[in-house]
Amino acid sequence: MEIGVYGLGRFGAFWAGLLSEHFKVKGYSRNPERITPKNVIRVTEDEVLKADTIFLCVSISALRDVLERVAKKIKPGTVIVDTCSVKVYPARVMEEVLPPGVKVIASHPMFGPDSGKKSLGGLPMILWPLRNADAEYNFWHSFFTGLGLSVLRMSPDEHDREAAFTQGITHYLGRVIADLGLKESKIATVGYKKLLEIMNQTCNDPWQLFVDLQRYNPHTGEMRKKLHKSLDKIMKLLEGTDIR
Amino acid sequence: MEIGVYGLGRFGAFWAGLLSEHFKVKGYSRNPERITPKNVIRVTEDEVLKADTIFLCVSISALRDVLERVAKKIKPGTVIVDTCSVKVYPARVMEEVLPPGVKVIASHPMFGPDSGKKSLGGLPMILWPLRNADAEYNFWHSFFTGLGLSVLRMSPDEHDREAAFTQGITHYLGRVIADLGLKESKIATVGYKKLLEIMNQTCNDPWQLFVDLQRYNPHTGEMRKKLHKSLDKIMKLLEGTDIR
Give chain A positions within 8 Å (CB) of B155.
none
CATH architecture assignment, domain A2-154 = 3-Layer(aba) Sandwich (3.40)
Judged by CB atoms closer than 8 Å, whether chains meet at B173 and A173 is answered as yes
Q: Mean pLDDT score of chain B, rounded to an integer?
A: 95
CB contact (8 A) between residue B123 and residue A243: no
Nearest CA in chain B to A236: B224
Say how far apart CA B120 and CA B118 lie, in whole Å.
7
B243 pLDDT higher than 90: no
Interface subset of A 50-69, CB within 8 angstroms of B: none
CA distance A28 to chain B (A): 28
Q: How far apart are the first and last CA of chain B?
A: 70
| 3-state SS class at B44 | coil
A176 to B231: CB separation less than 8 angstroms, yes or no: yes
Residues 201-220 on A with a CB inside 8 Å of B are 201-202, 211, 214-216, 218, 220
* A120 near B CB under 8 A: no
B169 touching chain A per CB within 8 A: yes
Give me the residue from B114, B176, B234 closest to A230, CB to CB. B176
3-state helix, strand, coil in chain B (%, to 5): 50, 15, 35
The sign one gets for the Cα dihedral B214, B220, B224, B230 is negative
CB contact under 8 A, B152 and A238: no
Identity of the amino acid at B34: R
Q: How confident is the prediction along chain A (244 residues), in pLDDT tens digits per residue?
A: 899 999 999 999 999 999 999 999 999 999 999 999 999 999 999 999 999 999 999 999 999 999 999 999 999 999 999 999 999 999 999 999 999 999 999 999 999 998 898 999 999 999 999 999 999 999 999 999 999 999 999 999 999 999 999 999 999 999 999 999 999 999 999 999 999 999 999 999 999 999 999 999 999 999 999 999 999 999 999 887 766 5
| For residue B108, pLDDT beyond 60 | yes
Q: What per-residue confidence (pLDDT) applies to B244?
A: 55
- Structure confidence at residue B47 as a pLDDT band (50, 70, 90): very high
CB contact under 8 A, A234 and B187: no
Confidence of residue B221 (pLDDT cuts 50, 70, 90): very high
| Kind of pairing between the strands at B79-82 and B103-109 | parallel
CA distance A66 to A207: 20
Summarize pLDDT for B117-148 with one digit per residue, the tens: 899 999 999 999 999 999 999 999 999 999 99
From CA B81, how far away is CA B233, in angstroms rounded? 43
User: Would you kindly state where each structural domain of chain A is located, as residue ranges?
Assistant: 2-154, 158-238
Q: Is A230 on the interface with B (CB under 8 A)?
A: yes
Q: So what's the pLDDT on residue A244?
A: 56
> A180, B227: Cβ pair inside 8 Å?
yes
Question: Which residue in chain B has the smallest CA separation from A193?
Answer: B166
Task: Say if CB B73 and CB B54 are below 8 A apart.
Answer: no
pLDDT at A170: 97
**Does position B170 have pLDDT exceeding 90, yes or no?**
yes
Residue A240, pLDDT score: 72
B128 inside 8 A of chain A by CB: no
The pTM assigned to this predicted structure is 0.90
What are the phi and psi torsion angles at A52 (to 5°)?
Answer: -65, -45
Residues 32-51 of A with CB under 8 A from B: none
Amino acid at A203: C
User: What is the maximum alpha-carbon separation in chain B?
Assistant: 72
Inter-residue contact A180 to B170 (CB < 8 Å): no
